[in-house]
Amino acid sequence: MTRLTRRAALAGGAATVALAACNPRASDTEPAADSAVAPAGFRDGVAIAAAIEAGETTALAEVEAAIARARAVEEAINGIVTETFELARSDASGVLSGPFAGVPSFIKDLIDWRGAPTLKGSRGLPKQLATADNPFAAKWRGAGIVSLGKSATPEAGLISSTEPLSNGPTRNPWDLSRIPGGSSGGAAALVAARVVAFAHASDGGGSIRIPASTCGVFGMKPSRDRLPYSEPGAIPPPLQISVNHAVTLSVRDSIALFRAAEALDGTYPALGEIQPLTRRLRIGFAPEPIGGTELHPDTRAALEDVAQLCRDLGHTVIDYTIPMDGPKFTDAFITYWAAGAADFARQVSEASGKPIGPDIVEPWTLGLANLAASRLTDLPGIVGYLLGFEEEYHSFFNDLDILLTPVTGSPAVPVGEQAPDGDFDAVMDSVLKFVAYTSPMNVAGAASMSVPLAWSPAGLPIGAMFSGRRGDDALMFELALELEAARPWADRKPPLSAL
């Protein structure tokens, strides 16, 4: 693998829990078969919507309760970039319809929600209110979801920790000295702390599954094009690796949110009724990181335990080595990722009227942009290789139904280890060790999920990643329901919790 260092990048040219109020900063379509396991006192989004419809509560009451929960923990976790509480109160007082009518949530600060700014974790973008919803956000608004604000993300979602210079680090409710992951770190922290039952998240290289794993919540990455992503009229990238969905506490919320947001453009059939899985699967257990980095012993032990759980449930678990050139793939993916950072830097420069530099984008973004510049002549070949990877990935399943791997190479790392203003080489080394499993599924467009089935001896969540083919979303959900029933997790609350 090409050494990804600052020197190489520059070669291309310069291109304590505080329960106090925080200071403000900038229909019935769910089949009964979709089950959830939840403890007494916990209500997921489906249950909240049902209670509102039954007249047992109101949308405004649920919004006010969620605002109070947010104020109770936000000073400690720093998961909200922009509060839109008054807008939420107004929305909750109006006429709402849809399967989640009146249920409060948050929108990740990478997509537009009408009436709120979209800052993308950046200091360089203007604080302009969006006048229209992103196509995915429009699906959520149509489902009756009420947004309380924008959740924190690293700049442009470019790293596996949520520590933007614009907003400061978001912290993990399980251990405030640890990261919640990224790039949907604010969303996962808010859900883990029980501020809301679910929150919008997106995943371009693991950004749903990584924070779901580190925060002990459920995170499903849909297959490519199952749910809307691109803005109308946007020029598509050579390879679409990013998807929108959510992090949730219950599996049935994830299923119902998936249904509410389906593109239904003829690419896939609509998601049918989902029952807990009954047929037994051939599961390939592949714990080794694809890039050759080391696996933390706590993560290894946790995944061995999950593999045994699958055996106990009657599945055939096969020791498996993923047949791919991991270093080559990692090099290609990081270079393609870096090209996205370079494009973002250009967008910020155009929006701010300032030249690309450290006063408008972070050092991590600049380092990636410079890396892309140093590999410019390699990019066409890299794109061609990545476009051909989907076929290679799907060949893994000739004799398997599912892959079981860790989500990350270790439990959550300390805040600061992946700070965007840290030494580029050191941060890159940490990222490559941490984000050691998730990106192949983005390139292949495959369905993949992090399921909160294990915790470290120190009490940190360790997600298990189950991945299938492109289009295997229903199979993922069926297995998730079975695993949730076998080893419920919603009653495991972090030390910092609003409930």
One-letter amino acid at 472 equals D
Report the alpha-carbon distance of residue 418 to residue 427 in Å, rounded.
5
Report the alpha-carbon distance of residue 389 to residue 369 in Å, rounded.
24
Report the alpha-carbon distance of residue 79 to residue 437 in Å, rounded.
25
- Cβ neighbours of residue 195 under 8 Å, at least 6 residues apart? 66, 69, 70, 73, 74, 79, 498
One-letter amino acid at 57 equals T
One-letter amino acid at 302 equals A
Q: Which residues participate in catalysis according to the annotation?
A: 108, 183, 207
Q: What is the DSSP string of 163-228?
A: --TTT----BTTBTTB---SSSHHHHHHHHTTSSSEEEEEESSSTTHHHHHHHT-EEEEPPTTSS-
Q: What is the token pair recorded at 321?
A: 């080595």
Report the alpha-carbon distance of residue 118 to residue 129 in Å, rounded.
7
- Cβ neighbours of residue 98 under 8 Å, at least 6 residues apart? 27, 142, 143, 144, 145, 260
Report the alpha-carbon distance of residue 485 to residue 479 in Å, rounded.
10
Residue 317's beta-bridge partner residues? 283
Report the alpha-carbon distance of residue 87 to residue 145 in Å, rounded.
13
Query: Left if phi > 0, otherwise alpha if psi is -120 to 50, otherwise beta: which for 194?
Result: left
CA-to-CA dists, residue 259 to 96, 136, 145, 314, 445, angstroms: 18, 12, 14, 29, 18
